[in-house]
Amino acid sequence: MVLTSILVYGSLTAILFFSGKFAAERQEIRWRMGMDTPFFAPEIILALLAFAFVCGARWNVGADHLSYLKDYQYLQQTGHFFSRDDYEPGFKFISKFFAFFNIHFFFYFALWGFLQLFFVLFAFKDERNFYPYFAIIIILGELFFTWNNGMRQSLASCIFLYSYKYIEEKHFLKFLITIIAASLIHYSAIFCIIFYFILNRDIPFNKYIYLLLLVISVIIGRISFLANFIQNIGQILSAVGYDEYEKTKTTINNLSNFGGRSLILLTICAVNIWFLPEIYKYFNYGKRIKIFFILYFLGIISYFMLLNSSILARGTYYFSIFQLPSLAYLFLYTKNNKKIIYYGLIALFVIYSLASYYLDLSRPADFTNYRFFWNHII
């Protein structure tokens, strides 16, 4: 099973990386010729379809996968969802459309994967030099498993990432429409509206203070009485109707117990903190680099502070998605200026992924190692 995971995830990373590299080179050439580059170029289509295929063909990858599958198959048979019928209207519409035409669940799950990656790539269609590093961050990091677990909220977070450009452009109406659209997939997205009024401000940065905050977040997550308090809040939310997330509690805690993988996540974030002032000067893109980092940083510290509540941890999705542009800037900077750091970062992501395959294989519930659905359906 580990070998299958290495082959599937490794192949997908390679496809996304090299298609992204080709997309960046094509865009650079066309810019020099004074030409725009259409988004749906062949290499982009290849990346989207490859990602969609892996998401669609999976079996029990992501703790919520089989629950969504059961819901969808029950919907095909009865016209109603099995576990609940109060899903968001956008999610319900798409699910019922697929179920009405009796479309195989492979295409149903492939669509959600396609949409997740689409919004990420489309958000940075003018910065395709990010694309190769998105492959590393998504597939070899924790994002792929996040996206295949909290599927609806992950898509909403990808739409939120896309909507950031409207904050930069100060187009509130477009931003509002986009966030409302995201809330049709997961209601929690509506709270992202507040960021329109926050992210236009200049946020101070001191790398030593941020490193200290990173350490403090880990300490808070490890203090027993605070951990119990956070867990109790999660249980209260579960009692008032958010119990759909409690089934993933074991999974999230297994992934989050402080160990080698946690150290890798902390190290990557610490490297980003340390080089951020240099990255900021090197690219000279204004405050967006700092904002991307701060949102990613909020996701990291929240992740470590909320280890004991899978419900509360879901809220970090709207922050952690910003690791994509923030770490992409880090990769680009170190590639051109700090080669040892660049290859060290790649090595950390590879180690993180391999550790996940091997360590999760021995757990009671393994939602990480890849399995094809056709090997589990008679």
Segment 103-144, tens digit of pLDDT: 999 999 999 999 999 999 999 999 999 999 999 999 999 999
C-alpha to C-alpha distance for 173 and 166, rounded to whole angstroms: 9
Q: In the prediction, which pLDDT does 336 show?
A: 94
Per-residue model confidence as pLDDT tens digits over 296-309? 999 999 888 876 65
pLDDT band, very low/low/confident/very high, at 174 (cuts 50, 70, 90):
very high
pLDDT reported for residue 29: 94
CA-CA-CA-CA torsion sign (191, 197, 199, 203): negative
Higher pLDDT, 203 or 278: 278
Buried/exposed code over 177-209 (b: 16+ C-beta within 10 A; e: otherwise): ebbeebbbbbbbbeebeebbeebeeeeebeeee
Residue 21 confidence class, pLDDT cut points 50, 70, 90 = very high
Q: Where in the chain are the domains?
A: 202-337
Statement: residue 256 has pLDDT above 80: no
Average pLDDT on 198-219 reads 88
Mean pLDDT value across residues 84-108: 94
Pick the closest to residue 356 from 264, 218, 269, 221 (CA basis). 264
Return the pLDDT at 223.
75
pLDDT for the residue 253: 40
Ranking 95-109, 176-190, 312-326 by mean pLDDT, the lowest is: 312-326
Confidence tier at 312 by pLDDT (50, 70, 90): low
Q: Is the pLDDT of residue 370 over 70?
A: yes
The pLDDT assigned to 257 comes to: 60
The residues near 272 (Cβ < 8 Å, ≥ 6 apart) are: 293, 296, 326, 327, 330
Q: Is the pLDDT of residue 156 over 90?
A: yes
Handedness of CA 290, 295, 296, 302 (dihedral sign): positive
Alpha carbon separation from 302 to 64, 203, 217, 218, 315 (Å, rounded): 22, 18, 7, 9, 9
Instruction: Give residue 287's pLDDT band: very low, low, confident or very high (50, 70, 90).
Output: confident
pLDDT band at 219 (very low <50, low <70, confident <90, very high): confident
The answer, yes or no, to whether residue 241 has pLDDT greater than 80, is no
pLDDT on residue 227: 52
Half-sphere exposure of 19 (CA within 13 A, CB side): 22
- The region of weakest confidence among 62-71, 132-141, 230-239 is 230-239
In the chain, pLDDT over 90 holds for what percent of residues?
73
